[in-house]
Each structure stands twice: as structure tokens, then as C-alpha cells.
Structure 1
Amino acid sequence: MEGLLDHILRDVLTRVGGVDRCVSEFIRVTDQLLPSRVFTRIVPELKTGGRTAAGVPVHPQLLGSDVQCLAENAARLAELRPEGIDLNFGCPAKCVNRHRGGAVLLDEPELIHAIVAAVRRAVPADVMVSAKMRLGYMDTSKTLDVARAIHAAGGSEIVVHARTKADGYKPPAYWERIAAVREAVPITVVANGEIWTVEHAGLARERSGCEHLMLGRGMVADPGLALRVAGARATPVPWRELLPLMQIFFDQVRATVAPRHQGGRLKQWLHYLKRAYPEAEAAHAALRTVNVADELARRLFAE
């Protein structure tokens, strides 16, 4: 989730609990071998055993279309000992697709097979290789071809976002179409897309036939969602318990993000939290015109 769910938010959300694994924002690979510092800048958890402070493993994600270059970068990334490496065949952003990255590759199952196979060969056997895909680029005609290509190339897990690139992020998500993918390949298939509530999670499981789910924006909007989906919590995390976590988040933002962007990061999260918390809606409205970090912190956390 480029520009939203970075290592700071991963840290805070995994402290809440219920998350088995995280996948990083994509690391763009074009035509060069990236230095290790690029990987650790985007995925600083690689410096701490590839896990968040709560102990949740983080799988770095690579995005690109150059087979050899992706394999070489995966090999270098594997030297940092992540538990797994994920490959992005799902990003719908026009700027990414225009440069032959993300969902545009869903029209080329042969290329996807080559990428997954090259990465699988390039990394140790104990490093998991997985892939994120959508149902297709402009249509769903090659959904199963792509899934079979990933499996045949040695991928051990596929996350399927239940929309095409053409669908973007517009509701609904077509979870029922993931069922055919699950039946087509003998590896783990994870359902993803438009899972905002426990009820959505139940429907996604029922319609897709998948046991495992990937949460995205729904987890940002409701940090206790994973716990409730797992049956480990009956009610949302109270606002009073969430505020200290938000303070940890904002402290880290202030330590690592340029001052002009600090307030925007906090307001961005508040914007998502408005879906589940009336308190967030009130705070977002009250702080909308405040941009100085000290003032934001004083007004939100000092009460």
C-alpha cells in the first residue's frame, strides 16, 4: 500500500495483534542491481531479523518486469534473510503499469512464469516466494493462466485481489471469482480486496473458499479487525487504547519524516479511522487546518 502502510504503520498495527505476516510496499526494480541500503530503507525490519517489534515477519515485495534484474535483486535481498519475498503483479497505478510493472503483466502469463521461476532459482530454498495478483488487467480471461504460471514456476502462495486493474478500487470485490483460482492450483490462495469488517471477512471466505485473508485498508481503518476476524476479540479496540498507539506512530513519523509531511501522515491515518471511530472524525475535523507537528501532538494526545 504505497504511501500509506509503511514500516511505521506496520509496527503499530502489528502491536495490536492478529496479524500473521506483513508484505512491504513494493520495491521498484528497473535495470540495475540495488544496494542493500535501498531494501533496508524501505523494509527496516530486515535489520531486526525481518520482523516488526511485535515479532511479525515482513516479506519484502519486488515490482518490475526485467527477469534477470529481478532475480539478481532477489538474490541480494535474500542475503538480508527475509522469511520470504513477494512479487507484485497487482498494482493498478497508471504510472507503474506504463513502465511495465504491476497489473499490466497479467496479460503476459509467460513473462510472469519467467519472473517467478528466475526469482525462485535465485534465492535459497528456505526463502518463500509468493505473488500478488488481480483477477486480470482489463478483463478476467487470463486469471487461471496467471495463477497456473505462478504455481508452475515454483511460487508457493498467491494473494488474489478480487478485482481487475480496470475495476481499480471501486466496490464490489468479486470474491467468488477467486474460488476458481483456488481450485486451479494446489498451493495456498489468499483472498484480498474490500474486507472492511468481520462480516466482509466471512463473506470473502465463504465465496472464495479461502481460509486465509489479506487485510489492507480495512486494517488501517480498524486496527483491531484482524483480532476480530480471528475470533480473538469481540469488539473494536477502544479509542482510549488506540490513542497511545497513535502517539507511538506520530513519534516515529516525527523522527523519520520531513517536517512538511508529518502532519499529513497523521491526518491520513485519522481519515481512515473515521470509518470506525467517531472520535477520529471529530479529531480530523478539529485538526484539519493544523500543520505544526507540536501543535498536532498537543491537541490530540495531551487531553
Structure 2
Amino acid sequence: MNSTQQPNLPSQQLETRQNKLQQLFAQPVRLLAPMEGLTDPLMRQILTQIASDLGRPYDWSVSEFIRVTQHVLPAHVFYRYVPELHQDAKTDTGTPIHVQLLGSEAQLMAENAAYAAELGAPAIDINFGCPAKTVNSHRGGSVLLDEPAVMYDIISAVRQAVPAHIPVSAKIRLGYTDTSRMDDIRGAIADSGADWLTIHARTKTQGYKPPAYWDKIQAFNSLKIPVIANGEIWTAEQAHSCMQQAGTAHLMLGRGAITRPDLIASVDSSANNPMNEDKELSWQDLITHQIKFLEGKAKTDVVLVGRYKQWLGMLTKGYSEAQTLWDQIKREKNKAVIISALQTSTHQ
């Protein structure tokens, strides 16, 4: 059974959701990946602003995972992870934010998904891809790739629990220790009622070590739902290679979007005109956004500075100027001093 053949779903509601899905995937989609500790609400706001300013907004972003363990979470937890729920589940520039849940108990996941939908989540994404040892040891994330039947139970329970018009998606890797369960995983997804699937093209064991095996995503294209490719996309050239090898036009951008916040725009502009550099974001232009990040909300300035240094460290892979700044402020703890260093660099 696939998402077009779900039981107990009125035909009118099914048709409404299918129409919504056709609209969502009418053109190749570009998504901002959920990355724990990286794409928090502040980073989402910055990156979606940049993408919008460059004329190629993200079609949507997915929140960091919300861990479901013993009960239905209170509203304030959902709002902490997805404050965009207070404004129609969109960033200031209008990018929708889908709510991602992680857990192993189907009924509890379903109840939390239903509550998230009640709070305004436009879609529910289920995490079967997180490789973190602490998550996996508590039977969450990618470890469930070794239990396709549990994956099926979770997705189908969530699908039945949320209103028919709200899509339910899943994010997976190619397997846990290896790819031997790919057929079983594909079968579980096909029967679950998932509306689309995002695949990080590595196993849990492979972690984030290059390369990503984009060609193995091809095996999932027999599903009657859209497939989104993810993993090791740092440049427009890699994006095009990924789409070709994976056999899908849909991409989720992760760490590459942190190191080059203009990646989303360059992917599509280079597809239309390889010589087009109008969509590039210069270091000088990026300084404004870095200052805005440092002026954002956080528990403390110490936390904010730490988060910024994490971002700046990643920016060194995309901008040579970032390395110079990093060498200058890597031991600095005062936020005002770092902002001053950024402001000074605009005049250099």
C-alpha cells in the first residue's frame, strides 16, 4: 500500500492532499536540512533571509528534531524548537518550517504529531537518519533503519493521526551499518503512507565521511512518492552530479548551505547559465548577516558567541576572508569586540 492507497481516508480529503503535493513538487524543490545544533531558529532565519534576498528562497526548511520519549510534549517545547509556529509556521521571509519528530514508540509519535499539527505545523517529518550515538543508544534516529517494521508502524500511525491535509514525510539514510536492508526499508516506506522521502546518501556507519553514494538513491525512485536527495553537496557542480546520479531533481542542502549561504541560488542559476555569478554572496555582503546573527536571541551571550564561532569555523571552508577573521577572534569571548571586528572588516 502506498500513499495513494490509504485506508479509511475520505476520497475528497485524499484528493486535497494529493493536489497540495502536486503543487509542492511542481518544480524541483530546494530544502534547508535539519541539523541539530546548527540550523536552530536563528540560523534558519539568517539562511532563509539570504536565500530570499538572492531571489531563490527555500521551498521549506525542516526543524531540528524534537525528541519524543514518554509523553505528549507541552506546547512550550514545540515553540522552543519551532518559534515560527507563532507566525503561521514561517520565517520572517515566508519560508515554511516543517516540524521533525524523533522517537521509537508509534502511538506516542502519533500523539505528538497530532499536537504539533494542532499548534500549526504545516507538515510532519520523521527522523530515521540521525547518526548520533546518544540518540541511537536510546533507540532513535538511524538505528531504526535496522527495524523497518517499526519504521512502518511509526509512519503509518503518524499518517493516520494528523489531519488528512497535512503531509507526513520521512528522512532516512541508506542503512545503519550497511545497505543490506535497503529493500526492506523501501518496502516499509512504500506501505506506510509517507508523502515523500528524503535520503541522506550514506549509512550511519559512514557518518559524514566523503563520498556520498548518490547513485544508491536510485533504488528508491520506484516509490510512488517524491524522493529528495541529500548528502555531501557543497557546490553547484556537486548538486548537479547528485541530481543526475540519484535520478531526482529534488535536493536538501545541509552543511554546504552553512559554509556557502548562497549555495541554493548558485545551484539553480548555474543550471540556467554556468557563467552567471549574479547569485553569489560576497564576504562583504555576508558580514551584515553575521552581525545580525550575533545580535540575535540566545540564552546568554556566551552561547551566542559559541554558536557564531561554530558558524565562522564552517565559513572558513567557503570564504578565505573567514579564515582571517577566525585567526583574529577565535579566542575572543566578548560579543561586542567580535561585532566591532566584523564592522571594521567592512572597510578593509
* Fold shared, TM-score > 0.5 on shorter chain: yes
Q: Residue 65 of structure 2: SS of its match in structure 1?
A: strand
Alignment-derived partner of residue 103 in structure 2: 64
Cα distance, 1:33 vs structure 2 = 0.9
1:237 aligns with one of 281, 287, 299: 281
> Are 2:346 and 1:293 aligned?
no
Alignment-derived partner of residue 162 in structure 1: 201
Structure-to-structure mapping, 1:195-214, within 5 angstroms? 195-214=233-252
Q: Residue 221 of structure 2: SS of its match in structure 1?
A: helix
When structure 1 is superposed on structure 2, of 232-241 and 288-297 the one drifting more is: 232-241
> Are 2:315 and 1:273 aligned?
yes
Whole-angstrom distance in 2 between the partners of 1:257 and 1:251: 12
Look up the equivalent residue of 2:261 and give its one-letter code: P
Q: Residue 339 of structure 2: SS of its match in structure 1?
A: helix
Q: 1:36 to 1:8 in 2, by over 3 A?
A: same
Whole-angstrom distance in 2 between the partners of 1:147 and 1:27: 24
Cα distance, 1:27 vs structure 2 = 0.2
Look up the equivalent residue of 1:216 and give its one-letter code: G
Cα distance, 1:200 vs structure 2 = 0.6
Cα distance, 1:147 vs structure 2 = 2.5
Structure-to-structure mapping, 1:19-98, within 5 angstroms? 19-98=58-137
Dislocated runs of 4+, deviation >6 Å: none
Look up the equivalent residue of 1:154 and give its one-letter code: G
Cα distance, 1:126 vs structure 2 = 1.1
Provide, for residues 198-249 of structure 1, a one-character-per-residue CA deviation record: whole Å limited to 9, x for no partner.
0110110010001100000000000000011122763520111111111111
> Are 2:138 and 1:99 aligned?
yes
Whole-angstrom distance in 2 between the partners of 1:142 and 1:188: 21
Cα distance, 1:302 vs structure 2 = 4.3
Alignment-derived partner of residue 16 in structure 2: none
Q: Residue 136 of structure 1: SS of its match in structure 2?
A: coil
How much is the aligned-residue C-alpha RMSD, in angstroms?
1.2
Q: Residue 183 of structure 2: SS of its match in structure 1?
A: helix
Cα distance, 1:137 vs structure 2 = 0.3
Cα distance, 1:176 vs structure 2 = 0.3
Alignment-derived partner of residue 11 in structure 1: 45
Q: Residue 295 of structure 1: SS of its match in structure 2?
A: helix
Provide, for residues 91-145 of structure 1, a one-character-per-residue CA deviation record: whole Å limited to 9, x for no partner.
0111000000000000111110000000001100111100000000011111232
Q: Percent of aligned positions with the same letter in both sequences?
A: 46
When structure 1 is superposed on structure 2, of 22-31 and 293-302 the one drifting more is: 293-302
Whole-angstrom distance in 1 between the partners of 2:262 and 2:338: 24
Alignment-derived partner of residue 190 in structure 1: 228
Whole-angstrom distance in 2 between the partners of 1:297 and 1:151: 50
Cα distance, 1:151 vs structure 2 = 2.8
Cα distance, 1:258 vs structure 2 = 1.7
Alignment-derived partner of residue 185 in structure 2: 146
When structure 1 is superposed on structure 2, of 157-166 and 291-300 the one drifting more is: 291-300
Alignment-derived partner of residue 147 in structure 2: 108
State the aligned residue count.
Answer: 300
Query: Could you tell me whether the CA contact under 8 Å between 1:147 and 1:158 is conserved in 2?
Result: no
Query: Could you tell me whether the CA contact under 8 Å between 1:222 and 1:236 is conserved in 2?
Result: no
When structure 1 is superposed on structure 2, of 18-27 and 229-238 the one drifting more is: 229-238
Query: Where do 5+ consecutive residues of structure 1 fail to align?
Result: none
Whole-angstrom distance in 2 between the partners of 1:8 and 1:208: 31
> Are 2:215 and 1:176 aligned?
yes
